[in-house]
Structure 1
Amino acid sequence: MTPSTTHAQHPVGSGFTPASTVDDVLEGIDLTGKNVIITGGHSGLGLVATRALAKAGARVTIGSRDTDRAEQAVSGIGDVEVRQLDLLQPDSIDAFVARYLDSGRPLHILINNAGFPGLGGIVRDARGYEAQFAANHLGHFQLTLGLYPALRAAGGARVVTTTSGAQRVSDILWDDPHFTTGRYDPGLAYPQSKTANVLFTVELDRRWAADGIRAYAPHPGIVPATAFNRSVGEEAQRAMGLIDASGEPVIDPDRGKKTPEQGAATIVFAATSPLLADIGGVYLNNSDISPLDEDPRPVDLTDPDTEVPVDVVPHSIDPRSARRLWELSERLIKSPSA
């Protein structure tokens, strides 16, 4: 069977639009008594999501490498706590998991949101793994597996892993995901990690849905105002149409360029919407399930009027690839020589 015949990538008609915000998707939703963990919940889209979820009544735990910076950023925001977490350090992940499990609290929502931009040359973690694949996928994979007992104890939980339309660009580089034998290509490293986010979502939902744990991979759109996008530099931002001649962010949600509140909306929709109660293992866009683009075609990125497609493509939801990635990831988090 192929993804085109078995997939669940069909919009549910949520009624939301590209311009919908976190407040729109959370209207009428009460998260009192719900526990949330969000990685990178102190900056960019993560901070917007943290504010929105706490406002709706959730108790939010943020995993951050820089706890001082994170605590300053979330000071005064509802019931929010910060814990040290470095997704490139397996021991840090294990310590974070142990501390949460020791609290005895069930985990209703896990948002794997933090990302490593991977600008410049190749960066490797202590195991020799390419850092974007290691942080964006493997770190979150290890974190999620560790938190499984708390997710199961919730009696209905969601795992939300923030992805990107870049998943269209590359499948998993199965022969050399860490660029150890070939030349490093940053134009493939980030997309590979984002495809991994979607495949992880597909397989997690298949394995854990029976335990009441469902999985989602939201694409937030392009948010010029975030540090992640600003990190490429003004010249590159201008070339991509993210900022105008005066350096101001270009906001055009119908073309995928959003405010932080609009970008985080799809993440929060994935975490909370009752419309997804009986659906999982899907890629989301614009606060709805994305359709599958079964015949993706090349796009002329040099044309400033081009609307870059972001719908999910077959290689990102292939169930065989999803199972293969899960098994590979299990080996990789256990042994750097796997």
Structure 2
Amino acid sequence: MTSTAQQPLNSGFGAASTAEEVIKGIDLTGKVAIVTGGYSGIGLETARVLHGAGAHIVVPARDVERARTALAVLPGTEVEHMDLLDPASIDAFAEKFLASGRPLHLLVNNAGIMATPLARDARGYEAQFAANHLGHFQLTTKLWPALVAAQGARVVVLSSRGIRFAGIDFDDVQFEHRKYEPFLAYGQSKTANALFAVEVDRRGQAQGIRAFAVHPGLIVDTGLVKHIDPAALQAAGALDSEGKPIRDPERQLKTVQQGAATSVWCATNPQLDGLGGVYCENVDISPLVAPENEAAWAGGDTTPGVLSRAVDPEAAARLWEVSEQLVTA
């Protein structure tokens, strides 16, 4: 991928478009989709809309009973145990899916955690990087044969405008030597998500696998913001004085239905045929933020865009190598 791929398509959709609107007219009968975190928030809406278009949905879940309850409204949906912080459970989930012999047409790496206090998995890896990136890296690479078998698969990786907070510190990914800051770690993990889509696409393109990174918007009525002080969300203009969500899609303040729209578009829309390795938002490919505007954008400018460091092919290739070492250590 080169940075020139980061050019909006003028898709005809926009910040206020919903997942239902972007999938209109698309038939997914016979397609298999795995949606991580597909039992709450925008993950559930993504699963619901893909299911409504005919796809068979598989949801790996840390809390299987909760997932089964939430997904009871989607007949035929499979729920299997998997914890993104538990490598053995990721292997077990992937191996069971591969043993079924099915192709995997759509993989939506949606699950994630945000701005959590410092925590580490059993390997000592920082939890946000481990859950948001490494767990999905392991899952995607294990499921690679099923993606190839689809003969035209798409991988959607949920990133975030949180890329503004940090790039990848390859010298201290796990915060072993620097002070831990929740949003710094979140930003690193979200930049990793964006870079992962770049390298999945580069490696998979010849085998029919295309990948896209997505910024869904800020949806404050999901569990993702539970570690953030409501006062901070009010100060950011995301909550009103009564603590209720403010909806303003042009400022990225979206409903769950709007938040799932770009994921669904990237997973299914023929406008993206032949494309990949790009970062998307507001149901379109994001423009690159010009170098002279990066400081303002990182400081809170809500103009659509992606920082060059989050789609840098060299950083993406390096992150893949580092990730391989970490998951096989």
Q: TM-score range by the shorter chain?
A: over 0.9
Q: Deviations over 1:165-189 (max 9, x none)?
A: 1112211011101001121122310
Residue of structure 2 in register with 1:331 after alignment: 325
Please tell me whether residue 308 in structure 1 is matched to residue 298 in structure 2.
no
- State the alpha-carbon separation in 2 of the partners of residues 260 and 172 from structure 1: 29
Residue of structure 1 in register with 2:280 after alignment: 284
Please tell me whether residue 55 in structure 1 is matched to residue 46 in structure 2.
no
Offset of residue 103 of structure 1: 0.8
Please tell me whether residue 18 in structure 1 is matched to residue 12 in structure 2.
no
| Alignment counterpart, residue 136 of structure 2, candidates 133, 137, 140 | 140
Residue of structure 2 in register with 1:44 after alignment: 41
- State the alpha-carbon separation in 1 of the partners of residues 246 and 225 from structure 2: 12
Residue of structure 2 in register with 1:97 after alignment: 94
- State the alpha-carbon separation in 1 of the partners of residues 298 and 319 from structure 2: 30
> Residue 75 of structure 1 aligns to a residue in which SS?
helix
Offset of residue 6 of structure 1: 4.3
Please tell me whether residue 110 in structure 1 is matched to residue 107 in structure 2.
yes
Residue of structure 1 in register with 2:26 after alignment: 29
Contact 1:118 1:131 in 2 (8 A): no
Offset of residue 241 of structure 1: 1.5
Offset of residue 298 of structure 1: 3.0
Equivalent residue letter for 2:267: A
5 Å-filtered alignment, 1:152-231, equals 152-231=148-227
**Number of residues paired by the alignment?**
328
Contact 2:3 2:312 in 1 (8 A): no
Offset of residue 312 of structure 1: 0.7
Offset of residue 118 of structure 1: 3.9
Residue of structure 1 in register with 2:240 after alignment: 244
Which moved further from structure 2: 74-83 or 30-39? 74-83
Contact 1:19 1:262 in 2 (8 A): yes
Residue of structure 1 in register with 2:314 after alignment: 320
RMSD after superposition: 1.6
> Residue 169 of structure 2 aligns to a residue in which SS?
coil
TM (normalized to structure 1)?
0.94
| Alignment counterpart, residue 295 of structure 2, candidates 293, 298, 306 | 298
Unpaired segments of 5 or more residues in structure 1? none
Contact 2:164 2:187 in 1 (8 A): yes
Contact 2:32 2:56 in 1 (8 A): yes
Offset of residue 248 of structure 1: 1.4
Structure 1 segments, 4+ long, off by >6 Å, are: none
Residue of structure 2 in register with 1:119 after alignment: 116
- State the alpha-carbon separation in 1 of the partners of residues 182 and 225 from structure 2: 15
- State the alpha-carbon separation in 2 of the partners of residues 300 and 102 from structure 1: 46
Identity among equivalent positions (%) equals 51
Please tell me whether residue 257 in structure 1 is matched to residue 253 in structure 2.
yes
- State the alpha-carbon separation in 2 of the partners of residues 236 and 168 from structure 1: 17
- State the alpha-carbon separation in 2 of the partners of residues 88 and 77 from structure 1: 27
Q: Deviations over 1:12-32 (max 9, x none)?
A: 111001000011100100111
Contact 2:294 2:307 in 1 (8 A): no
Residue of structure 1 in register with 2:69 after alignment: 72
Q: Deviations over 1:126-176 (max 9, x none)?
A: 000000001100000000000000000001000100000111221101110
- State the alpha-carbon separation in 2 of the partners of residues 201 and 300 from structure 1: 22
> Residue 298 of structure 1 aligns to a residue in which SS?
helix
TM (normalized to structure 2)?
0.96
Q: Deviations over 1:227-267 (max 9, x none)?
A: 21244242222122211112211000011100000010001
Contact 2:18 2:257 in 1 (8 A): yes
Tell me: CA distance 1:181–1:231, structure 2 relative to 1, closer, same or farther (3 Å). Answer: closer
- State the alpha-carbon separation in 2 of the partners of residues 195 and 215 from structure 1: 15
> Residue 7 of structure 1 aligns to a residue in which SS?
helix
Q: Deviations over 1:16-50 (max 9, x none)?
A: 01000011100100111000001000001001101
- State the alpha-carbon separation in 2 of the partners of residues 249 and 185 from structure 1: 26
Contact 1:125 1:134 in 2 (8 A): yes
Contact 2:38 2:44 in 1 (8 A): yes
Offset of residue 291 of structure 1: 0.5
- State the alpha-carbon separation in 1 of the partners of residues 120 and 303 from structure 2: 31
